[in-house]
């Protein structure tokens, strides 16, 4: 029974994670509240970014908006290890800001902490959004009979990589475009990489075990916010898993436009070589935000702690050692909002 093997490995993960408990957030340099930043955008329009927790970020520029898959349910280690897991709709209702106008939800990979809350959000909160992700993500979400399959779009086939450009997808009346990039996913601990694999066929129902949310092909995204004339106002590189170079790198685009913001994912960085140094050297971003840093095995209503088993202080030291001069970084608390306007 493949499931029981995975359950055993998950238990091992739980034991390891519990041994390396997270750090209380008060000892970390967390950004909170609402921040105004004069930096990086071109033209007159401001871009507002809200950190929602785990892989979730909400971007707004005027009427245009884009969401990356957020996660609010935070089942405990026991449920993840051996029990059943499901979306906590009360937590989504409480912590997800209004997204009824959002047209696109980007998914980096299909593990439960990135995809499990997406069906409820797509059905009830963002009913006009399409969900973009890997073939595995699309096949898993087809297990929800209430989700119109026409709203599920695989961008795996049109993804680019470090050497060749992928296709741009335009949303929000042409004011936002994104390109998926073939990326990677670091092992979880001690070289053990959980929940790997592809969902080759449409699922008959949504998974209710953590190990059934198969990773699929991990994707990073390049996201451009565009002016009316199509010129780039702000460029973001988004990753929701640590990866080994050159996985997740953008291709040479020859458009002379740099990356304004890199969103990095610390968990697992010790399990691969050169993360985050290599991606930061490639992107040379003007700003860096760290996501997925908080303990998502605890309810959102409890005090923040860092994700167990990840040495964030060392991650930050390694990151700071390679950041270009003048590049600022933030590790925000879920709910944090930053408004970025021209300097």
Q: How many residues in the shown chain lie near Zn ion by CB under 5 A?
A: 1
- Does position 6 interact with Zn ion (CB under 5 A)? The reply is no
- 51 CA to centre of own chain: 10
Question: Among residues 111 and 175, whose Cβ is nearest to Zn ion?
Answer: 111
Min separation Cβ 141 and Zn ion, Å:
16
According to DSSP, residue 286 is labeled: S
Min separation Cβ 14 and Zn ion, Å:
15
Min separation Cβ 115 and Zn ion, Å:
10
Strands 104-106 and 64-68: parallel
| Positions 237 through 256 that interact with Zn ion (CB under 5 A) | none
Min separation Cβ 185 and Zn ion, Å:
6
Structure tokens at 334: 């879920």
Question: Among residues 185 and 235, whose Cβ is nearest to Zn ion?
Answer: 185
Strands 328-332 and 34-38: unpaired
Among 6, 111, 235, 286, binds Zn ion (CB under 5 A): 111
Question: Among residues 111 and 125, whose Cβ is nearest to Zn ion?
Answer: 111
Min separation Cβ 166 and Zn ion, Å:
21
Min separation Cβ 218 and Zn ion, Å:
8
Question: Among residues 60 and 188, whose Cβ is nearest to Zn ion?
Answer: 188
Instruction: Return the closest-CA partner of residue 290 out of 31, 106, 38, 40.
Output: 31
Strands 287-290 and 261-264: parallel
Region near Zn ion per CB under 5 A, out of 27-35, 87-95, 103-111, 294-302: 103-111
Distance CA 238, CA 297 (A): 23
Distance CA 157, CA 167 (A): 9
Compute CA distances 286 → 7, 39, 158, 163, 274, whole Å.
42, 8, 27, 23, 20
- Does position 292 interact with Zn ion (CB under 5 A)? The reply is no
By the criterion CB under 5 A, which residues form the site for Zn ion?
111
């Amino acid at each position: 029974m493949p499931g029981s093997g995975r359950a055993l490995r998950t238990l091992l993960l739980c034991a390891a994670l519990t041994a390396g408990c997270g750090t209380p957030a008060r000892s970390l340099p967390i950004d909170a509240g609402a921040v105004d930043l004069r930096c990086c955008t071109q033209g007159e329009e401001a871009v507002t970014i809200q950190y929602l927790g785990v892989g979730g970020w909400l971007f707004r520029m005027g009427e245009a908006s884009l969401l990356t898959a957020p996660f609010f349910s935070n089942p405990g280690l026991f449920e993840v290890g051996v029990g059943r897991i499901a979306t906590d709709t009360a937590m989504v209702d409480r912590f997800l800001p209004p997204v009824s106008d959002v047209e696109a939800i980007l998914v980096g990979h299909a593990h439960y902490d990135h995809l499990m809350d997406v069906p409820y959000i797509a059905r009830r909160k963002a009913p006009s959004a399409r969900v973009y992700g890997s073939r595995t993500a699309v096949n898993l979400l087809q297990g929800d009979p209430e989700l119109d399959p026409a709203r599920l779009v695989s961008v795996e086939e049109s993804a680019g990589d470090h050497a060749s450009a992928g296709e741009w997808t335009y949303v929000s009346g042409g004011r936002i475009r994104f390109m998926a990039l073939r990326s990677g996913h670091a092992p979880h601990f001690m070289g053990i990489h959980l929940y790997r694999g592809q969902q080759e066929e449409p699922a008959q129902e949504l998974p209710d075990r953590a190990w059934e949310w198969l990773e699929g092909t991990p994707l990073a995204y390049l996201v451009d916010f565009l002016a009316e004339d199509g010129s780039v106002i702000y460029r973001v590189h988004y990753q929701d898993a640590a990866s080994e170079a050159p996985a997740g790198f953008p291709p040479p685009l020859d458009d002379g436009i740099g990356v304004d913001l890199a969103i990095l994912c610390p968990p697992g960085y010790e399990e691969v070589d050169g993360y985050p140094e290599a991606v930061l050297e490639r992107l040379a971003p003007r700003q860096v935000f760290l996501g997925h840093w908080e303990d998502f095995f605890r309810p959102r209503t409890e005090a923040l702690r860092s994700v167990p088993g990840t040495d964030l202080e060392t991650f930050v030291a390694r990151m700071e050692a390679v950041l270009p001069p003048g590049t600022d970084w933030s590790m925000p608390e879920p709910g944090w909002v930053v408004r970025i306007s021209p300097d």
